[in-house]
Amino acid sequence: SDLQKQEERGELLQPLIFVLLVFCSVLLYFKVSLMDPGFVKSEEEAGKSEEQSMVIPQVPSNIKMRRCGYCMVKQPMRAKHCQLCQHCVRRYDHHCPWIENCVGEKNHPLFIVYLSVQLVVLLWGGHVAWSGLYFEQSWDWLQHNILLLMSFLLIVVFTIVVLLLLISHLYLISCNTTTWEFMSHHRISYLRHSELENPFDQGIIVNLWRFFC
């Protein structure tokens, strides 16, 4: 049959891989959306001062952990209260409207994986859409290809957004800082009173290793 011939020629392998990537992207989306991003529990009072002093000895010792005025838990360093989630989140990065969840200590690495897979899917989909376009300067051609053309333009927009988001996150990760710390450096006490601009930076290789491993 035609299906068997296509399989023998390897023509079914690429569509199968594409479908698997889309399926993987959907699973990652729900995983990142539904998982705990690193909520600070009420029983975790202040935590791990010894660990913090080993990791970031440059942070002034007179900076004490404060109690959150909203959920009344003691915030570990780099944690922030999210008004939308109504929780303090460890190593808070940002609240992502795409996933309707915070990006924090627990789901940030998986969020990067999700963005990477999503970028591959978008680039592949854009290539497929572009290969199906044969431009002609006629109204009849536009009527028959308007949906494909709009799909391609939409894919281009989403690809640019995801690419810029992924690049910015990888840059911040390589510096061992978060979006919140980068945007609000002047308002964060442990950064404002530190002698170094970024007391968490331990070099690109160590930063990446500690984040992903």
CA–CA distance, 90 with 178 (Å, rounded to integer)? 11
Q: Is there a contact between 96 and 180 (Cβ–Cβ < 8 Å)?
A: no
Q: What is the 8-class DSSP label of residue 75?
A: P
Q: Is there a contact between 93 and 179 (Cβ–Cβ < 8 Å)?
A: yes
Q: Is there a contact between 158 and 70 (Cβ–Cβ < 8 Å)?
A: no
CA–CA distance, 102 with 32 (Å, rounded to integer)? 9
What residues have CB less than 8 Å from 202, skipping those under 6 apart? 176, 210
Catalytic residue among 88, 96, 102, 175: 96
Residue 96 appears among annotated catalytic residues? yes
Run of H or E residues at 128 = helix 108-131
Q: Which residues are catalytic?
A: 96
